[in-house]
Amino acid sequence: QGQLVESGGGLVQAGGSLRLSCKASGYSTSFNIMGWYRQAPGKQRELVATLTRGGSTNYADSMKGRVTISNNNADNMVVLHMNNLKPEDTAVYYCYANSFITYWGRGTQVTVSS
């Protein structure tokens, strides 16, 4: 059975940086798109960034200039570099993968202290 394995969340001070990684394992397909969403308490899940197999990226307006998404030249993997983090970036960050079906990781907590 496939799963999306996330790593890299944690506690960081405002202005700091974090790197989130997600590796898909156990799937028989290569995903057309992978990325990250986040959900803060009391809020809906929202886009952070996505990356297609062709290399196209999409970033949330609130994150542009502060995040970079890549695949580290590996299939079925996505890495999110986040810089200049703000307290409002505090949320659970979920890895996302889609071919014809959408898959979600379990989530990793990111907490940014002021």
Q: Please tell me the predicted confidence (pLDDT) of residue 104.
A: 97
pLDDT value at residue 74: 80
The secondary structure of the chain, three-state, reads CCEEEEECCEEEECCCCEEEEEEEECCCCCCCEEEEEEECCCCCCEEEEEEECCCCEEECCCCCCCEEEECCCCCCEEEEEECCCCHHHCEEEEEEEECCCEEECCCEEEEEEC
Looking at residue 14, its pLDDT comes to: 98
pLDDT digits (tens, 9 = 90+) for 51-99: 999 999 999 999 999 999 999 778 899 999 999 999 999 999 999 999 8
Q: Is residue 114 pLDDT above 90, yes or no?
A: yes
What is residue 47's predicted lDDT score, i.e. its pLDDT? 97
Return the pLDDT at 50. 97
Q: In this predicted structure, what is the pLDDT of residue 95?
A: 97
Residues 35-44 pLDDT 10s: 999 999 999 9
